[in-house]
Structure 1
Amino acid sequence: MPPKKQENSPKTVITSHVNSDFDAIGAMLAAQKLYPESVILFPGSQEKNLRDFFIHSMGYLFNMANPDTINFSETQRLVIVDTRQKSRLSGVKPLLEKPDLIIDIYDHHPSFPDEIKGTYNLSKPYGATTTIMCELLREKKISINSDEATVMALGIYEDTGNFTYTSTTRADFEQAGFLISCGACLSTISSLVVKEMKTEQVTWLNELINEMTTIAVNGIQVHLSAIAASYYIPDLASIVQKIVRMENLDCFFALVLMGAKVYVIARNRLHEMDVGKILGSLGGGGHSYAASAKVENQTLPQVETRLIKLIEQQIRHVRVAKKLMSSPAITITTDQSCLEAAQKMIRYNINTLLVLDSQTLEYLGYITRHVAQKTVHHKLGDQPVIDYFEPGGQSVSLSCDLAGIEQKIIDLKQRVVPVMENRIISGVITRTDLLNFLVEHNREVVQSEKTDISDLKPRTKYVGNLLKSRLNTRIRTLLSDIGNAGDTLGMEIFVVGGFVRDLMLERPIEDVDVVVEGDGIVFARYFSSIHHCRFHQHRKFNTAVIIFEDGFKVDVASARLEYYATPAALPVVENSSIKMDLARRDFTINTLAISLNAESFGTLIDYFGGVRDIKDKIIRIIHNLSFIEDPTRIFRAIKFSNRFGFRIGKVTANLIKNALNVGAVKHLSGLRVLSELKQIFSEDNPLPAVQTMADYGIDKVIHHDLKLTDTTCALFRSVGKTLAWHDLLYSDDVYPRWSVYFMAWLHGYSFTVSTQIADRLMFPIKEKELLLEQRIKAAQQIRLIEKKHPVSNQQMYRWLIHFKTECLLFMLALTKKESVRKAISHFYTHQRKTQPLIGGKDLKSLGITPGPVYSTILNKIIDEKLDGKLNTMEEEIKFAKEYAFENKLI
């Protein structure tokens, strides 16, 4: 049922947060009963089940107003339910600026930095805001009918997770019971709260489970999944909730990239963590047990890294000491004997005793079983412990976290650490206690300053069968040999980048790039010595090239990181790990590595979701500043998108636009831009890439007069057909493919503009001559041929013989006359290599005096050959002799 039409300027407006859930809707309905003359502004879209339910069933309960037509001129009071965050409100922002506005707030969420300060604030730590509102309705004895009770009960049931969330309170149960007594329909509630999953939702549930990784922070296990969705996933929160129940997870974060936004959903059962505060730092909000956030214009790896950092920073210090310690602590005083100490340790089967002052019982140090037994062995067992104990050592409190305990036991090398509260020993932690805890939690050593993107946990997968099925025997053997050499040298070896990407895409493997955790030059030298290869080293970058006898090459690099001192500058390189080496790369699809060491051979390592993005056919950048630091990556994004038929992700596209807006490409040297353009123009079909460059306005950055016209596009397509014809018939004829497209790109521009473009791109002299003078001459020659055609073979030969292959191909693509195209094609196929078989020495042997006449005779021979005559040297000599005799040259 459609909402009732309301007056344009209500005195009281009720609203809640965007993407309202059942709790927000139930609370707004209750607020409407508390403020009878009010209207409700629904703040944006709800999930589909909410929309369907209220439109078809309960819409008549709500006195709703259209946000687009409402007039706030007479509005005196704003009622906000289920939120206090200004950033989560929409439609009422102009009203919030109104002076003397009365603001009443009802909420159950914890406090956040951007919260609104109301004239009246009622906040209680209940499981649902609807619970607070029901209490008020009961206090004021306002009646509730069965439909209203159903809507309100829905809010309580959903926000308490059917009374299973740790935030659920006694009040939630009480008010839910009251609503049931008012006629709330449990079958309706069950059908909406317990949602059946659709097929596509099951698919995303499985992908979230498959991509799940685990991190440990201060001894707490946190589960995290990061995926990219090609379309909007409805009811993501319910999918996350099902995963938590299915996998029995205490804490789970789901990060899903949809469009240009990363959605983060968190569910938590741990008292030590507050996911509401964590996601509040990402611009979201919620409770300690359930929260969500939406992050725009950041890549998925960046949000994941940022989230991990926030988890590490904001997680409450776990009382690990209380979990680890043995209690009560076994102690001995300084006046007791060493024999008593030894006997005590044997009795309790421990290796260390805490030593206390006999008067004050203050902790002084410890004595070990080894020392106590030695004193007994040397008949000194009657001596007091004070003579042989180890003084000193630091204690920890019950609230000490894992890092603090590790610092005492590992860094300070303490055998035992007393746990003290109010100067009283509560227990003791030994090295064994710590070791058992670390093993139990499968934890890496805590590092308090994890800020790099390389802290992401890798997704690993065995792809050995893929290597066997898609690589030839030589490459497979080569990879195995490389791994074995790495094992011999104690180095971790990986094949990386384009090799792995093309392997996954089932494309031909052209290059083998190897990364070594260690000195790549040392590895290349050793490998070359045992396999009898040559190698060249580049000490500046610590890289090398292994060269086999047949010319096949393997590029070897030391794992390294790069940083940029200034935007668009060349990177500064330092040795690092495979993590950091992959983190320095451009796009996720190029960050894959496969281990080659024998023990882990064939293990695919994926830190940044490269496998996922290959599957989704999408180009994503890793770092937000990547295009600023190295703007050539803009060209590479376009190149890869064109080559693989992938789309550029929305976040990546926005970052490209931002980099162009701040003039990043302008700072690039012409040679670097030229290098990227050559690669783009060397692709099979560069037109889509050129169109993408034009869409971004990159052509205008190169020169303000550059413009991609329909004529240029048609010429590009013609060049494509011409090069396909040529490369099929003349695969061994090497020419600069890029130059033909470049000539097509510049066609139609004046010599002055073309010169300015060439100067901006810093073309070498010979290439500049080709693209300026030769291109213009070729275009002029085509116009002449089209005007004069048909002409003799000899004339066509004279017109075309001085042009290089790339110019001839450009002319073939440029002409619009099929007869001219056939004539040029005939020249290229049958005549361009026509030359006399005889030379000056042969003419001299005939007695012809050297001089300009030699050229005349040789040209006459060429003319005859073009007509299919003079096929042998003897025939050419005979022709020359007759020509000389007729012209009295001999």
Structure 2
Amino acid sequence: MRIILTHEQTDFDALASLLGAHLLDPEALPVLPRRPNRNVRAFLNIYGADLPFVDPKDLPNEKIDLIYLVDTQSLISVKGAHKGTRVRVLDHHQRRDDLPDTWEVTTDNTGANTTLLVEAIREQGIRLTAVQAGLLLLGIYEDTGSLTYSRTTPRDIRAAAYLLEEGANLTLVNDYLNQPLSLAQQALYDTLRQQAEHLTIHDHAIILALGDATEIDEELSSIAHKLRDLLDPEALFLLLSTRGGTQMICRSTSDSIDVGQIAAHFGGGGHSRAAAALIKDRSPEEVRRELLDLLPQHVRPPLTVADIMSRAPQVLSPDTPVEKAALLMQRYGYEGYPVVENDAIVGLLTRRAVDRALAHKLNLTAASLMQAGEVHVHPDHSVEHLHRLMAETGWGQIPVVERGSHRIVGIVTRTDLIKTLNPPTKRARPHNLAARLEEALPPARLELIRQIARLAEEQNLALYIVGGFVRDLLLNYPSLDFDLVVEGDAIALAQAVGKRFGGRVTTHRRFGTAKWLLPLPGNPNTSPPSEEMQSWLQEHNPADLPATLDFITARTEFYTHPTALPTVERGSIKLDLHR
């Protein structure tokens, strides 16, 4: 005999997986769990007679040769199983490490487990009834939030489209998803809402709530969904007393909070966005204390404004004529400029306002056309904070202001935010060149780069290695000649390097460049090495160091007319790359 099993507290993905596995192996009996979710039970009360599910009490008294385990990797004891019973797992959760070696385990990364079975059904050309197609679609829709959860894959969407072609009815799906809570669930929901503990960990909003569910026989995950929708945290943790122990239910809406890993710590499992664990012999308060200690380790600090901003922003003064603003926008392609007076932000001038003024031949200034306001962010603000601020203010370009000095150090645009929030699904794997740098450069030259990088960091400057050196590094060709590009003031950084280590710095202020002549024996007319440099030279081979090092300010340039020398202005690394 062959049977198909899934987990208790059965949702539609689990029930649909039972059906899908049976359609692929009609001789295998799909065994109904004892405790399905309330909406699943309501569905079975109406449509169960048209489906092949078997009650555990009605299983034949035979030995079980094979168990299919779907949408779970936990096997309960079942009558008829023996040492020779084979187990075949089909699941969309991450494979557990403690599974027996004799099990045949297939896991895949889809939003719904049902998707894996629908793909096989389609490949084999199995025809479906409207009820079968409807149940399979319920499985996909429930586990992917009607195809809106971030873990939804193109495969889930293709499977759903196929089921609609096979006769699945969206009205049926809507009838059984998002059902109202029962009275008992509603009472627990109200208690959890009133007693919810609001936490902020690494700038992420997290809600933790404890409750008593010992008298509730119905599933509890729908309560978590309702609370998440109401309170809108980035992560939600429910710790509920049940007859079997403390039930942990976890939900996340952020890639920075992997609740699957947290649940695994407590012996449970699930996805990065939805997970659960049952902790026996421990109270919710005991679990809460351990969870509070654990969260800072598993909640990653968010991406900050400093990670995505452009440095060295261009700004306008309030008395800038509209014609000049239009020329700058045309030259650099910006959609807006911060307007600054006495180092304070007073507004934002947009391309739309400039175009409208020019169309009406209005001879106005930035002060007359700008959106007035002091909107800004700090470099350490999270991208989530930036997102909320842009949505509230409508500003598409927001200046970044350094704490303390109140100096404008960057700008972040709506495009920067959109690229961050919606990264390409297929992106090139980033290159980690640290190991290649260590292989390509002599220790003395590598340490020199690190020392200069520390100085740049102290001055809040972004530092880049540029030139043929980078190309050669990617091609695994040895090369030692490199230049340093600075977002900010390259001359100031070069002078700081010369002051700390000695040598001589020559500058070309028109182009924002500087050359540092290292304090080496072959360099004439240089100041002697500092004590720090002398100590450092004793540890490294001076012959491995360059005689000079060029510092270049990231810049943009334009030409007023053909054959003219370029007009150079300080810019960001983006503008320099455009150049």
| Cα 1:220–1:111 shift into 2, 3 Å | farther
CA-to-aligned-CA distance 1:652-699 (integer Å, 9 cap, x gap): xxxxxxxxxxxxxxxxxxxxxxxxxxxxxxxxxxxxxxxxxxxxxxxx
Please give the alpha-carbon distance, in whole angstroms, between the structure 2 residues aligned to 1:215 and 1:238. Answer: 22
Paired positions, count:
348
| Cα 1:360–1:168 shift into 2, 3 Å | closer
Corresponding residue for 1:251?
Answer: 235
What code does the residue aligned with 1:280 have?
A
What code does the residue aligned with 1:80 have?
L
What code does the residue aligned with 2:78 have?
V
How do 1:708-787 and structure 2 match up within 5 A?
none
Corresponding residue for 1:807?
Answer: none
Corresponding residue for 1:363?
Answer: 453
1:29 and 2:15 correspond: no
Please give the alpha-carbon distance, in whole angstroms, between the structure 1 residues aligned to 2:250 and 2:28. Answer: 34
Greater than 6 Å deviation, 4+ residue runs: 346-350
User: SS at the partner of 2:127?
Assistant: coil
Q: Identify the match of residue 69 of structure 2 among 63, 80, 87.
A: 80
Q: Identify the match of residue 189 of structure 2 among 200, 205, 211.
A: 205
Corresponding residue for 2:174?
Answer: 190
Q: Identify the match of residue 242 of structure 1 among 198, 201, 226.
A: 226
1:177 and 2:161 correspond: yes
Corresponding residue for 1:47?
Answer: 37
1:131 and 2:115 correspond: yes
What code does the residue aligned with 1:363 have?
A
| Cα 1:117–1:179 shift into 2, 3 Å | farther
Contact map agreement 1:18 1:90 (CA 8 A) in 2: no
Q: Identify the match of residue 113 of structure 1 among 97, 107, 113.
A: 97
CA-to-aligned-CA distance 1:414-451 (integer Å, 9 cap, x gap): xxxxxxxxxx99x9xxxxxxxxxxxxxxxxxxxxxxxx
CA-to-aligned-CA distance 1:168-202 (integer Å, 9 cap, x gap): 11111111121122122222211111202334433
The Cα RMSD (Å) is: 3.8
Please give the alpha-carbon distance, in whole angstroms, between the structure 2 residues aligned to 1:168 and 1:120. Answer: 25
The structure that is strand-richer by fraction is: 2
1:240 positional shift = 1.2
1:19 and 2:9 correspond: yes
TM-score by length of 1: 0.36
Contact map agreement 1:253 1:267 (CA 8 A) in 2: yes
Contact map agreement 2:212 2:241 (CA 8 A) in 1: yes
What code does the residue aligned with 1:98 have?
K
What code does the residue aligned with 2:76 have?
S
Corresponding residue for 2:496?
Answer: 385
How do 1:465-504 and structure 2 match up within 5 A?
none
Contact map agreement 1:104 1:118 (CA 8 A) in 2: no
1:78 positional shift = 1.7
The structure that is helix-richer by fraction is: 1
TM-score by length of 2: 0.53
Contact map agreement 1:201 1:233 (CA 8 A) in 2: no
Contact map agreement 2:21 2:117 (CA 8 A) in 1: yes
1:214 and 2:198 correspond: yes
What code does the residue aligned with 1:318 have?
P
1:285 and 2:269 correspond: yes
Please give the alpha-carbon distance, in whole angstroms, between the structure 2 residues aligned to 1:282 and 1:231. Answer: 23
User: SS at the partner of 1:365?
Assistant: helix
Please give the alpha-carbon distance, in whole angstroms, between the structure 1 residues aligned to 2:100 and 2:271. Answer: 17
Please give the alpha-carbon distance, in whole angstroms, between the structure 2 residues aligned to 1:293 and 1:204. Answer: 19
1:228 positional shift = 2.3
1:353 positional shift = 13
1:57 positional shift = 1.9
Please give the alpha-carbon distance, in whole angstroms, between the structure 2 residues aligned to 1:216 and 1:301. Answer: 19
1:305 positional shift = 1.4
Q: Identify the match of residue 28 of structure 2 among 38, 44, 57.
A: 38
Gapped runs of 5+ residues in structure 2?
313-342, 345-399, 410-444, 461-491, 503-550, 555-579
1:325 positional shift = 5.0
Corresponding residue for 1:318?
Answer: 301
Contact map agreement 1:103 1:120 (CA 8 A) in 2: yes
1:92 and 2:78 correspond: yes
1:255 positional shift = 1.4
Please give the alpha-carbon distance, in whole angstroms, between the structure 1 residues aligned to 2:69 and 2:308. Answer: 51
CA-to-aligned-CA distance 1:45-67 (integer Å, 9 cap, x gap): 11233223214322441241535
Structure with larger Rg: 1
| Cα 1:116–1:289 shift into 2, 3 Å | farther
| Percent of aligned positions that are identical | 25
Gapped runs of 5+ residues in structure 1?
1-9, 331-345, 370-380, 392-423, 428-890
User: SS at the partner of 1:246?
Assistant: helix
User: SS at the partner of 1:256?
Assistant: strand
Please give the alpha-carbon distance, in whole angstroms, between the structure 2 residues aligned to 1:389 and 1:328. Answer: 28
How do 1:344-423 and structure 2 match up within 5 A?
362-365=452-455, 384-386=495-497, 388=499
What code does the residue aligned with 1:314 have?
H
1:250 positional shift = 1.9
User: SS at the partner of 2:56?
Assistant: coil
CA-to-aligned-CA distance 1:837-858 (integer Å, 9 cap, x gap): xxxxxxxxxxxxxxxxxxxxxx
Point out the more displaced range, 121-130 or 230-239: 230-239
Please give the alpha-carbon distance, in whole angstroms, between the structure 2 residues aligned to 1:115 and 1:255. Answer: 27
Contact map agreement 1:81 1:105 (CA 8 A) in 2: yes
1:61 and 2:51 correspond: yes
